């Protein structure tokens, strides 16, 4: 039996890598992240040209636009994720469930650590490195957010929210519960009126109207939702659509739109800058993005928000080795800033795949396909170039556009099945850890 020390293992990898390059004649591309950017790159890269290694703390790609639907069980968690090892992965790509901890750009060596066994570190050589690690939710340093609020970025977040919602409503039905406590449990607060916050509110609304009414009818009139936004909701949408969404939300009983900002979150309350206290049983926080720890630790040029600055070819500025690229939410193109949305990251992944294989030589350009948002009760808004729509047609467009965008036939089979089940039988309210 051979025991490798970390150092000795590094040497072995290097040798192995050199051999591999020689044997296969392919260069080694390391992709960090399996979000829209990294996954798109992985799908599009020509694996005859590169040996690909993917490093990510999760082994699946998440179809983020439908994440809010999983918080109440309209869709199931596994219906909107696709294992990275499934798709066009084959024998030429390798995957490690790890974090990157450090990049040694001079020697083209990446330091990684296992997600599953902290302390299990290793190094990898690369010829090309693409940073597509995404971003974290931004707490804006508001006290208590990190400890008490729920984010909505990934499947474990959605699972926690779903469990909390079911728990709160079950607990609210317990005999012997204080009346104020009962009210608090059924007050849900959403901070941030972007698409995530609005769509989570929409799903909550449908859940209250359809499922609470069905199985928890005693509580139907007691569930309240407050959406806190200091500016406008859906601010990136056209003004008419924004007003439509706002009107829809405001005309709902038990829904409240509060223009204020949050000064503190505690275990049972959200404190607003207007002095109001919102006692609540759930806080979902979706107010923007901030860089990950790894991006913070990188010694490269960044913009004011801490995103890695790249040139118009998505090449990291200041990288003299011509080997490091950055894309998606963790990056920003100097003098050509683009919004942090899935479409941009996906297009960038595709672009870098072509660029690295010599199939593209022009600067990266982006043409938006438009934006969709669901506002609940079969109503949507679509802000598409030359076509602004609202109402049920937009909802229909929302569903069909996402359905065709889903990355695999497995998901395309399961998502409509989940939608059908939710209509026929209601959403599943079973509670388990």
* Interacting residues with a second copy (CB under 8 A): 1-4, 6, 9, 13, 58-60, 76-78, 81-83, 85-86, 89, 91, 95-98, 114, 116-117, 120-122, 124, 154-156, 159, 166-167, 170-171, 173-180, 215-217, 408-410, 413-414, 417, 421, 424-426, 428-433
In the complex, what is the shortest distance from the CB of residue 152 to a second copy, in angstroms, rounded to a whole number? 14
Q: Which C-beta is closer to a second copy: that of 1 or that of 387?
A: 1
What is the Rg, in whole angstroms, of the alpha carbon atoms belonging to the chain?
Answer: 23
In the complex, what is the shortest distance from the CB of residue 12 to a second copy, in angstroms, rounded to a whole number? 9
Q: Which C-beta is closer to a second copy: that of 13 or that of 261?
A: 13
Q: Which C-beta is closer to a second copy: that of 19 or that of 235?
A: 19
Angle, helices 392-405 vs 409-425, to 10°: value is: 140
For residue 407, give every residue at least 6 positions away whose Cβ sits within 8 Å of its Cβ, in sequence order, or none: 39, 61, 63, 82, 87
Asked if 197 and 227 touch (Cβ cutoff 8 Å), the reply is: yes
In the complex, what is the shortest distance from the CB of residue 375 to a second copy, in angstroms, rounded to a whole number? 27
φ, ψ at 256 (rounded to 5°): -135, 140
Cα–Cα dist 202/381, whole Å = 12
For residue 248, give every residue at least 6 positions away whose Cβ sits within 8 Å of its Cβ, in sequence order, or none: 375, 376, 377, 379
In the complex, what is the shortest distance from the CB of residue 15 to a second copy, in angstroms, rounded to a whole number? 13
Q: Which C-beta is closer to a second copy: that of 47 or that of 159?
A: 159
In the complex, what is the shortest distance from the CB of residue 111 to a second copy, in angstroms, rounded to a whole number? 11
Q: Minimal CA–CA distance to 125: which of 221, 28, 225, 265?
A: 28
Instruction: Provide the residue count of the chain.
Output: 433
In the complex, what is the shortest distance from the CB of residue 184 to a second copy, in angstroms, rounded to a whole number? 12
In the complex, what is the shortest distance from the CB of residue 114 to a second copy, in angstroms, rounded to a whole number? 5
In the complex, what is the shortest distance from the CB of residue 125 to a second copy, in angstroms, rounded to a whole number? 11
Q: Which C-beta is closer to a second copy: that of 104 or that of 363?
A: 104
Torsion of CA 42, 45, 48, 51, to 10 degrees: -50
Q: Which C-beta is closer to a second copy: that of 194 or that of 416?
A: 416
Asked if 121 and 7 touch (Cβ cutoff 8 Å), the reply is: no
Q: Which C-beta is closer to a second copy: that of 2 or that of 387?
A: 2
In the complex, what is the shortest distance from the CB of residue 175 to a second copy, in angstroms, rounded to a whole number? 4
In the complex, what is the shortest distance from the CB of residue 309 to a second copy, in angstroms, rounded to a whole number? 31
Q: Which C-beta is closer to a second copy: that of 392 or that of 423?
A: 423
Distances in Å between the Cα of 108 and the Cα atoms of 29, 111, 201, 253 are 11, 10, 45, 58
Q: Which C-beta is closer to a second copy: that of 52 or that of 381?
A: 52
In the complex, what is the shortest distance from the CB of residue 284 to a second copy, in angstroms, rounded to a whole number? 18
Q: Which C-beta is closer to a second copy: that of 90 or that of 304?
A: 90
Q: Which C-beta is closer to a second copy: that of 243 or that of 412?
A: 412
């Amino acid at each position: 039996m051979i025991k490798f020390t970390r150092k000795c293992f590094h040497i072995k990898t290097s040798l192995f890598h050199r051999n591999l390059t020689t044997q296969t004649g392919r260069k080694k591309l390391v992709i960090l992240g399996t979000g829209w950017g990294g996954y798109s790159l992985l799908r599009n890269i020509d694996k005859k040209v590169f040996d690909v290694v993917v490093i990510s703390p999760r082994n699946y790609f998440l179809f983020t636009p439908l994440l809010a639907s999983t918080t109440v069980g309209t869709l199931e968690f596994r219906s909107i994720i696709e294992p990275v090892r499934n798709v066009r992965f084959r024998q030429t790509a390798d995957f490690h469930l790890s974090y990157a901890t450090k990049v040694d750009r001079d020697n083209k060596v990446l330091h990684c650590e296992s997600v599953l066994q902290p302390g299990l570190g290793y190094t990898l050589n690369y010829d090309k490195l693409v940073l597509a690690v995404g971003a974290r939710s931004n707490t804006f340093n508001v006290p208590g957010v990190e400890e008490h609020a729920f984010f909505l970025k990934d499947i474990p977040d959605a699972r926690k929210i779903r469990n909390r919602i079911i728990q709160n409503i079950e607990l609210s039905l317990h005999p012997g519960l204080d009346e104020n406590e009962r009210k608090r449990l059924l007050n849900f607060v959403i901070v941030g009126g972007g698409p995530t916050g609005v769509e989570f509110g929409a799903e909550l609304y449908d859940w209250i109207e359809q499922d609470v009414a069905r199985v928890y009818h005693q509580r139907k009139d007691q569930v309240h939702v407050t959406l806190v936004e200091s500016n406008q909701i859906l601010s990136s949408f056209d003004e008419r659509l924004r007003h439509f969404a706002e009107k829809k939300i405001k005309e709902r009983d038990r829904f409240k739109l509060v223009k204020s900002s949050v000064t503190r979150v505690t275990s049972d309350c959200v404190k607003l800058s207007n002095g109001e206290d919102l006692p609540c049983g759930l806080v979902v926080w979706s107010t923007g993005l901030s860089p990950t720890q790894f991006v913070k630790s990188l010694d490269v040029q960044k913009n004011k928000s801490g995103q890695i600055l790249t040139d118009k070819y998505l090449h990291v500025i200041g990288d003299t080795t011509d080997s490091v690229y950055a894309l998606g939410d963790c990056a920003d193109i100097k003098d050509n800033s683009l919004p942090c949305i899935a479409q941009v990251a996906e297009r960038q992944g595709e672009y870098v795949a072509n660029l690295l294989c010599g199939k593209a030589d022009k600067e990266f350009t982006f043409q938006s396909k438009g934006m969709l948002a669901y506002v609940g009760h079969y109503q949507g808004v679509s802000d598409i170039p030359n076509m602004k729509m609202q109402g049920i047609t937009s909802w229909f467009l929302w569903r069909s556009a996402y359905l065709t965008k889903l990355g695999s036939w497995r998901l395309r089979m399961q998502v409509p099945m989940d939608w059908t089940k939710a209509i026929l039988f209601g959403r599943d309210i079973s509670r388990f850890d």
